């Protein structure tokens, strides 16, 4: 086994974890999870990714890297209004179970998979953009409240992304920890590493939460991570077994949801780190990087409680800043995709506006209504064009 195969597996985990763990923690806090539940949430995700990456890579002999749904975590975080949870942890877990069942159904029922694929890409991207924009705006709200802490981190990010957009967030995260220590803003740290424990959360199946969170969580996970993840593998010369991948990720999502963990999906960015020729010149010999990645995730699962405790000791503005900066790239990509086609541009921008708002009708949140508004507008515009067309 080449050293590059081992290195790719390790780097994929470091990039995946360091660039988005702040988003996951922010999402957990947005539904009222306490410190123990947040630790259980993160550890459950690490187990899900460890098992699914290792199994899929070994089973299909290709580097099939999985990831937690970062857009999904952002969606969960966006359910809080003014920092106050509108969906409790029990209802959130019910929504996670619902999303996992939908993923399993999409693997088993081809018509459902086909129906999801028919949602216009621009509208799906617009819904994601509306979810993400609040996180990036929050960075500058935090800068107004704490400029000494936040603005140097923003400046560092702007410089680092010129060299590597992938590593910029990890550098900023490390710098944020160091800067917090320098400013004397770090609270009580845990005494050494502690083994993780899991907290079983009894779900509640609130129809409003299922529609307002569970359904959008399924849609953004499919459109923003599973489909790009498969595309990355195809670009690297592989033919990914999509139904097997959806079945495995849906199953691990279903099993870890009762411990607070949201959706596990196929990876896109970190998959590219393991699927390319830098890992191994021979595509048939790159799959061990997925197994190594899975093993590292299982190590992270064992110390999840210490990771969460470490983040809890940092100033709240650090979490806001790192999460918001990490989502600037996905925000740019989603808005570019949403606004590129002229024929769907108005419907897309309406989707962004509704999703980014605090609209809540019948207890159902803005992400669902943004999707409804975009699809309805697109339907009306299509009908109008047909009526104007001469017979």
3-state secondary structure of 364: strand
Instruction: Give the C-alpha separation, 217 to 207, whole Å.
Output: 14
Through-space distance between the first and last CA atoms of the chain, rounded to whole angstroms: 67
List C-alpha distances in Å: 151 to 162, 184, 269, 317.
18, 17, 27, 11
pLDDT of residue 347: 92
Cα–Cα distance, 312 to 323 (Å, whole number): 14
Strand (E) or helix (H) holding 13: helix 3-30
The continuous run of DSSP H or E covering 152 comes out as: helix 147-160
Give, in degrees to the nearest 5, the angle at Cα 12 between 10 and 13: 70
Q: What are phi and psi of 67, to 5 degrees?
A: -150, 160
Distance CA 31, CA 52 (A): 26
The reported pLDDT for the residue numbered 203 is 95
Are the beta carbons of 296 and 13 closer than 8 angstroms?
A: yes
* H or E element in which residue 6 lies: helix 3-30
* pLDDT at residue number 192: 65
Please, which residues have CB within 8 angstroms of residue 130's CB and are 6 or more apart in sequence?
351, 352, 353, 354, 355, 356, 366, 367, 370
The answer to whether residues 221 and 265 touch, using CB atoms and an 8 Å cutoff, is yes
Q: Taking each helix axis as running N to C, give the angle between helix 3-30 and helix 35-60, from 0 to 180 degrees, rounded to the nearest 10.
A: 150
pLDDT tens over the chain, length 391 residues:
678 888 888 878 877 887 788 889 889 999 999 988 998 999 999 999 999 999 999 999 999 999 999 889 988 988 887 778 899 999 999 999 999 999 999 988 877 777 766 778 888 888 878 878 888 888 999 999 999 999 999 999 999 989 877 678 888 888 998 999 999 888 777 666 677 788 999 999 999 999 989 999 998 888 778 877 887 788 788 888 888 999 999 999 999 999 999 999 998 777 877 887 878 888 899 999 999 999 999 988 888 778 777 777 888 888 888 878 877 887 888 888 888 888 889 999 999 999 888 877 776 778 788 888 998 999 898 888 888 777 5
**Would the CA dihedral through 263, 269, 272, 273 be positive or negative?**
negative
CA-closest candidate to residue 290, choices 63, 47, 15, 16: 63
Q: What was the pLDDT predicted at 70?
A: 87
Which residues are within 8 A (CB) of 236 and not within 5 positions of it... i.e. 6 or more apart? Answer: 272, 275, 276, 283
341/142 Cα distance (integer angstroms)? 34
Query: What region does 38 belong to: left with phi over 0, alpha with psi -120 to 50, or beta?
Result: alpha
Per the document, the length of the chain is 391
Torsion of Cα atoms, 73 then 176 then 326 then 136, to 10°? 90
Residue 166: per-residue pLDDT: 67
Q: 134 with 284: CB under 8 angstroms?
A: no
Can you list the alpha helix ranges (DSSP code H) found in 183-268? 207-209, 215-221, 227-235, 242-256
State the pTM of this model: 0.79
Q: And the tokens for 150?
A: 């936040």
Report the SS3 class of residue 184: coil
Q: How far is CA 301 from CA 44, 95, 261, 293, 296, in A?
A: 7, 23, 12, 12, 9
Q: Is 265 helix (H, G, I), strand (E, B) or coil?
A: strand
Asked if 69 contacts 16 with a C-beta cutoff of 8 angstroms, the reply is no
Beta bridge partners of 68: 264
Stretch (H or E) spanning 66:
strand 66-68
Burial group, residue 381, by CB count within 10 angstroms (0-12, 13-18, 19+): middle
Compute the distance between CA of residue 127 and CA of residue 349 in angstroms, rounded to an integer: 9
């Amino acid at each position: 086994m080449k050293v590059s195969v081992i290195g790719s597996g390790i780097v994929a985990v470091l990039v995946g974890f360091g660039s988005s763990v702040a988003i996951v923690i922010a999402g957990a806090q947005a539904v009222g999870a306490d410190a123990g539940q947040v630790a259980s949430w993160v550890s459950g995700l690490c187990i899900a990714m460890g098992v699914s990456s290792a199994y899929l890579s070994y089973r299909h002999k290709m580097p099939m890297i999985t990831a937690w749904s970062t857009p999904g975590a952002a969606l969960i975080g966006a359910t809080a209004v003014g920092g106050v949870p509108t969906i409790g942890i029990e209802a959130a877990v019910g929504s996670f179970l619902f999303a996992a069942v939908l993923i399993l159904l999409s693997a088993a029922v081809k018509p459902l998979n086909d129906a999801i694929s028919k949602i216009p890409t621009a509208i799906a991207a617009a819904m994601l953009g509306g979810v993400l924009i609040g996180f990036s705006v929050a960075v500058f709200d935090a800068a107004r409240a704490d400029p000494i802490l936040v603005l140097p981190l923003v400046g560092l990010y702007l410089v680092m992304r010129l060299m590597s957009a992938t590593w910029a967030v990890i550098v900023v995260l490390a710098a944020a920890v160091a800067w917090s220590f320098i400013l004397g803003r770090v609270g009580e740290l845990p005494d050494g590493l502690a083994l993780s424990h899991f907290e079983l959360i009894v779900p509640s199946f609130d129809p409003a939460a299922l529609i307002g969170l569970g359904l959008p969580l399924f849609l953004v996970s499919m459109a923003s991570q599973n489909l790009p993840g498969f595309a990355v593998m195809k670009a690297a010369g592989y033919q990914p077994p999509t139904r097997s991948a959806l079945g495995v990720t849906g199953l691990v999502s279903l099993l870890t949801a009762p411990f607070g963990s949201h959706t596990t999906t196929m990876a896109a960015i970190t998959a590219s780190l393991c699927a390319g020729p830098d890992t191994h010149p021979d595509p048939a010999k790159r799959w061990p990087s997925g197994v190594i990645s899975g093993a590292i995730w299982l190590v992270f699962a064992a110390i999840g409680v210490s990771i969460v405790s470490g983040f809890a000791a940092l100033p709240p503005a650090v979490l806001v800043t790192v999460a918001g900066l990490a989502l600037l790239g996905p925000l740019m990509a989603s808005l570019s995709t949403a606004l590129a086609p002229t024929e769907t541009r108005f419907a897309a921008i309406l989707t962004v506006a509704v999703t980014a708002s605090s609209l809540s009708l019948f207890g159902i949140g803005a992400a669902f209504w943004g999707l409804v508004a975009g699809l309805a507008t697109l339907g009306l515009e299509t009908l109008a064009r047909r009526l104007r067309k001469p017979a």
